[in-house]
């Protein structure tokens, strides 16, 4: 895939992103000023509590499956259900990809829990595989799995996060590259716009729908562009 025009678009997107973040930041700091220190401290503790409530229950009752079902305390392997409202072509043998763990990695770093982050990174490095017979929604799998792996990779290679010396050998980047290569099969179309669905093991199904959406085919650029870089 020729990525040079994509790089240009990515840099435009990033410019817009930085501007929005600056704007949000100024809105939040104005609001936070009204909060007062005690209230801010209280909110911080609440956010931590909410995160660990969700994370620890997922790890106890659902991991390494994809998601916790909170009322029954059981799990669902939901990657191939995401965006699949009619639950078409669900795989029979798919055992999950630890989806919630992948999505939690960056939060662990933000909360300063490097021990748990390292444990998660090593588990995924050893155990995660995308060679599974699962038809996934390209957009959902891109933002959640590819995006999760790439941001965790960037955080793991940031010296501030001090993983144990030598323990991180770009394993998450290799997993991301493997996943990205599987995505590429969806782009083999007359227009170059990708199919909305791809089977991770076998590529696009023969009778796959050509229906897609603006975000589904137009917003792959952030993660795929980051992976290319």
Ligand X SMILES: *[C@@H]1O[C@H](CO)[C@@H](O)[C@H](O)[C@H]1NC(C)=O
Give yes or no for residue 122 binding ligand X (CB under 6 A): yes
Q: Where are the beta strands (DSSP E) in 118-203?
A: 135-137, 197-199
Distance, CA of 150 to CA of 15 (rounded, Å): 19
Give yes or no for residue 126 binding ligand X (CB under 6 A): yes
Query: Which listed range, 14-22, 75-83, 131-139, 202-210, lies at the site for ligand X (CB under 6 A)?
Result: 202-210
Give yes or no for residue 95 binding ligand X (CB under 6 A): no
Residues in the chain: 229
Give yes or no for residue 206 binding ligand X (CB under 6 A): yes
Which member of 66, 77, 103, 116 binds ligand X (CB under 6 A)? 116
Contacts with ligand X by CB under 6 A: the residue count is 13
Give yes or no for residue 55 binding ligand X (CB under 6 A): yes
Give yes or no for residue 164 binding ligand X (CB under 6 A): no
Q: At which residue do the structure tokens 């891109």 appear?
A: 142
* Residue pair 107/120 in contact by the 8 Å Cβ criterion: no
Which member of 56, 158, 164, 188 binds ligand X (CB under 6 A)? 56
Query: Which listed range, 29-37, 159-167, 189-197, 200-208, lies at the site for ligand X (CB under 6 A)?
Result: 200-208
Other C-beta atoms lying within 10 Å of the C-beta of residue 28: 11
Q: Which two tokens stand for residue 76?
A: 């669902």
Q: Under rule CB under 6 A, which residues in 2-31 are in contact with ligand X?
A: none
Q: How far is the CB of 59 from ligand X (least distance, A)?
A: 7
Q: CA angle 94-99-105, nearest 5°?
A: 155
Q: Which two tokens stand for residue 74?
A: 């059981």
């Amino acid at each position: 895939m020729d990525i040079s025009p994509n790089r240009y678009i990515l840099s435009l997107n990033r410019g817009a992103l930085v501007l929005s973040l600056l704007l949000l930041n100024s809105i939040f700091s104005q609001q936070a000023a009204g909060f007062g220190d005690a209230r801010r401290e209280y909110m911080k503790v609440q956010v931590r509590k909410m995160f660990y409530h969700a994370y620890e229950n997922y790890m106890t009752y659902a991991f390494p499956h994809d998601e916790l079902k909170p009322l029954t305390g059981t799990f669902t392997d939901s990657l191939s259900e995401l965006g699949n409202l009619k639950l078409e072509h669900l795989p029979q043998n798919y055992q999950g990809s630890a989806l919630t763990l992948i999505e939690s990695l960056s939060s662990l770093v933000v909360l300063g829990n490097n021990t748990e982050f390292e444990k998660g990174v090593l588990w995924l490095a050893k155990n995660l595989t995308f060679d599974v017979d699962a038809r996934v929604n390209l957009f959902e799998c891109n933002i959640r799995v590819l995006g999760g792996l790439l941001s965790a990779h960037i955080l793991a290679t940031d010296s501030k996060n001090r993983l144990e010396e030598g323990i991180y050998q770009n394993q998450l980047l290799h997993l991301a590259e493997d996943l990205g290569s599987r995505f590429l099969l969806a782009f083999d179309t007359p227009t170059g716009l990708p199919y909305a669905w791809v089977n991770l093991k076998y590529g696009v199904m023969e009778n796959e729908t050509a229906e897609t959406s603006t975000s589904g085919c137009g917003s792959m650029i952030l993660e795929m562009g980051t992976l290319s870089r």
